[in-house]
Amino acid sequence: MEQKTQQKDFKHFVRIANTDLNGARPIITSLRKIKGVSFMFANLVCHLAKVDKTKKTGELSEEEVKRIDVVMKDPLKAGTPIWMINRRKDVETGEDKHLISADLTFTQDNDIKIMKKIKSYRGVRHILNQPVRGQKTKSNFRENKGKVHLGVKKKAGAKSGRP
């Protein structure tokens, strides 16, 4: 009888930080599916929200989901150390914050556009589709790497040209 009540409360998908998470996985594994959440950050969120990290995501109560969501939205307020944040001293505002999902993608794209606009070294490398972080380019990053090169093809039905 206890199993039936447990199965009724089980949710197959749980929505945290605008992302649907698989209910069959442990919460620490499910949180990593959110862009901007690493293993260490997922562990920290579970600790700060006071949620058992081995608990299945579908078995979480509404209150636990809300606590996780609050910690994910503003981790500094919840007590996250500054070295765990993924965007320290933001260029525009100067504040420390942790970006996740669409905000992270938008900010990264914006940063690349700014680098291209001011024509910094990294911006120029982005423009030229070259590696940005100092890798060698002699043997890697080739344009035609992996493409199959074909020889000369005859036209269908063409004569050899001899009388």
pTM, two decimal places: 0.73
Q: 27-78, pLDDT tens digit by residue? A: 999 999 999 999 999 999 999 999 999 999 999 999 999 999 999 999 999 9
Cβ-based neighbours of 114, under 8 Å, separated by 6 or more: 91, 123
- All structural domains of the chain, each given as residue ranges with its CATH number in brackets, are 7-83 (1.10.8.50)
* Residue 64, number of CB atoms within 10 A of its CB: 19
Q: 66-79, pLDDT tens digit by residue? A: 999 999 999 999 99
Q: 78-118, pLDDT tens digit by residue? A: 999 999 998 899 888 899 999 998 989 999 999 999 999 99
